[in-house]
Amino acid sequence: MISNFLYKNRAVFTIGALFFFTLSALLYWNAQEKGHFEVDSVVYDRVAKEFVKTGNVQEPGGGSPVHTQGYHFFLGMVYWITGIDVWKLVLIQVILMFLAILFIVHMSFMLFGQQCARLVFLLALVDPGFYVYPQFLLAETLQLFFISICFERLAAFYAIRKRWMLVVAGIALGFSIIVKPTALFFPIGVALVFLILSKWMTSSLRASDWAFFTAATYVPIFLYVIRNGLLFGYYKFAFLAEANIYHWFNGVIHTHLSHKPLLEILSDMNQKLDSNYSPFDPEHWQPLKDLFFQTCFSHPLVLLYALFQNITKTFFGLYSVQLHLLFDSGIRGNIQPFFEVSGSFFEKIYGYLVWAFRNPYVGVLMLFELVTNMLKWFLCAWGLKGLWDKKSYELIIFFVCVVGCFAIMTGFYGAGRYRLMFEPIILCVASYGLLELYKIYKRIKLESAIR
| Average pLDDT over all residues of the chain | 88
Confidence of residue 47 (pLDDT cuts 50, 70, 90): very high
Q: Is 178 helix (H, G, I), strand (E, B) or coil?
A: helix
Best CA proximity match to 284, nearest among 230, 232, 329, 246: 246
Q: Is the pLDDT of residue 1 over 60?
A: no
* pLDDT at residue 336, as a whole number: 62
Rounded-to-integer distance, Cα 411 and Cα 107, Å: 28
Confidence of residue 335 (pLDDT cuts 50, 70, 90): low
Confidence of residue 224 (pLDDT cuts 50, 70, 90): very high
Print burial letters for 3-38: b (CB count within 10 Å at least 16), e (below 16). eebbeebeeebeebeeebeeebeebbeebeeebbbb
Best CA proximity match to 339, nearest among 347, 327, 329: 347
| pLDDT, tens digit (0-9, with 9 covering 90-100), for 75-95 | 999 999 999 999 999 999 999
Confidence of residue 334 (pLDDT cuts 50, 70, 90): low
Using the 8-state DSSP alphabet, how is residue 193 labeled?
H
**Cβ count near 449 (within 10 Å):** 7
| pLDDT, tens digit (0-9, with 9 covering 90-100), for 122-134 | 999 999 999 999 9
Best CA proximity match to 161, nearest among 105, 110, 106, 125: 110
| pLDDT, tens digit (0-9, with 9 covering 90-100), for 104-120 | 999 999 999 999 999 99
**Cβ count near 195 (within 10 Å):** 12
| pLDDT, tens digit (0-9, with 9 covering 90-100), for 183-197 | 999 999 888 888 888
| pLDDT, tens digit (0-9, with 9 covering 90-100), for 169-220 | 999 999 999 999 999 999 998 888 888 887 777 777 777 888 889 999 999 9
pTM of this structure: 0.91
**Cβ count near 238 (within 10 Å):** 18
Rounded-to-integer distance, Cα 194 and Cα 202, Å: 9
Rounded-to-integer distance, Cα 302 and Cα 307, Å: 9
* pLDDT at residue 206, as a whole number: 78
> In this structure, what is the dihedral angle of CA atoms 270, 278, 137, 131, given to the nearest 10 degrees?
-60
SS3 for 218-261 is: HHHHHHHHHHHHHHHCCCCCCCCHHHHHHHHHHHHHHHHHHCCC
